[in-house]
Structure 1
Amino acid sequence: MFNVSTVDTIVWDFDGVLNRNIVDGKFTWNDGFEAEFGQSIETFNEMIFNDKFGEVLTGEMTLIETVSDWAGTVGYQGDLMNLIEYWFQNDYNLDERVMGWLAASKRSNMRNVMGTNNEAMRTQFIAEDLGFADRMDRIFASGLMGVAKPDEAFFNMVSDELAVEPDEMLLIDDNQDNIEAADACSWQVHWFDGEDYDGLEAKLQEVGALG
């Protein structure tokens, strides 16, 4: 069993932990898409979030390329950057309670970083427009790293880059595959299911992140 007192760095997942952008099984930004752009959101999701989206998440293919492929297929001739901006602007619903704990952890002098599966454009939006560049000590994003969770290389790259022993890292994530992969890399882990706030608060208190 890990000694929780040795936690040096908390790695926060974005979507599903800090950001609650899925409600009743669908992305919040999907509402209003068809009225705004006159296109089927079902078709958009099917063409964007398919097996090839993994290449977008790791930077092998850009988001604008895959959205352009969709536009060419359905005959959409609008401004693609405007569409992507609509997506980003309507795809965040920050969890106030978890954000409060992040702020408390930062005040406690715990190192806090983000570990997220996001491509470069949305990562920039998260960092700059949503202000996470100031809220986090570092942001580790799959689109900039060339590897995505749950690949163990993601976790090894983060701990190596920070020069922190793996068992001094704590991952907070909503995806059980990511949790299992981090655990296999000797990280400490906490699975947040989006409902057990008491459990997450207790874990943060246990590692000294809440003062």
Structure 2
Amino acid sequence: MTPEAVVFDIGNVLIEWNPERFYDSQIGPEARQRLFAEVDLHGMNDLIDAGALFRETIYDWAARHPDWGREIRWWYDHWIDMASPRIEGSIALLRALRAKGVPVFALTNFGIHSFAYAQTQYDFLAEFDRAYVSGHLGMIKPDPAIYRAVGADCGLAPGRLIFTDDRADNIVAAAAQGWQTHLFTGWRGWAERLVAVGLLTQAEAGL
């Protein structure tokens, strides 16, 4: 079945998301490992992705963990350094699909305010036909309800959507809803899949 719309995750698909790499560069791997073991920073980020305030949530966690307060505040103060660089091959695929008139959606775990900020830094984040942002939806992947919400809004049958994400649990959840899926490990593999399902030619996919 040829898909009618393509759904992109954002983090580690269109932009790299690697807080550990940033912290390693600032405090070294050993200190970073202690920080992440003592403070559930990814759990904190899940709250933001589910709709909690951006700066306020991070600064509250910093106040609750004063031994790591400065480093926790970096999650807000240096957020763009963790959410970079752009993955240019994937961005080119997004634009190639849109140039052919294929609807392109985003389905992303992203905070309300962090996504708004990211849109000021990355032009392509304004290029989706529809952007489904977890913070606005009040639920995060891989909750099955978030995939059903996308389907209900776009009006397409599940099998008509093809979705790429770098996390296997998110892919499994989408496939359970009947979506076509691709586990993202690099833009070339994704490009090959888009060619295989008939949405792009090899030349259009940059292969």
Which bin holds the TM-score, normalised by the shorter protein? Answer: 0.7 to 0.9
Q: Is 1:130 the counterpart of 2:122 in the alignment? A: yes
Deviation at 1:48, TM superposition (A): 5.1
% identical equivalent positions: 25
Which amino acid counterpart does residue 186 of structure 1 have in structure 2? Answer: G
Distance 2:20 2:127 in 1: 24
Amino acid of the structure 2 residue aligned with 1:13: D
* Paired residues of 1:113 and 1:140 also in contact (CA < 8 A): yes
Matched, 1:143 2:139: no
Partner secondary structure for residue 153 of structure 1? helix
Q: In the alignment, is residue 91 of structure 1 matched against residue 83 of structure 2?
A: yes
1:49 to 41, 44, 50: 41
Q: In structure 1, what is the equivalent of residue 53 of structure 2? A: 62
Deviations 1:44-82 (A, max 9, x none): 6453525454332211x32323312233231758xx6x8
Aligned length: 195
Structure with more of its chain in helix, by fraction = 2
Q: Structure 1 residue 29 and structure 2 residue 22: aligned?
A: yes
Q: By how many angstroms is 1:13 displaced? A: 0.7
- TM-score of the pair, normalised by structure 2: 0.80
In the TM superposition, residue 166 of structure 1 has moved relative to its aligned partner by 1.1
RMSD value over aligned CA atoms? 2.7
Q: Deviations over 1:78-128 (max 9, x none)?
A: xx6x86242224521111212211111111111111111111122112333
- The question of whether the paired residues in 1 share the 8 Å contact of 2:58 and 2:75 is answered with no
Letter in 1 for 2:62: A
CA contact (8 A) 1:120 1:143 kept: yes
The 1:62–1:41 alpha-carbon spacing in structure 2 relative to 1, beyond 3 Å, is farther
Rounded to whole Å, the distance in 1 between the matches of 2:40 and 2:160 is 37
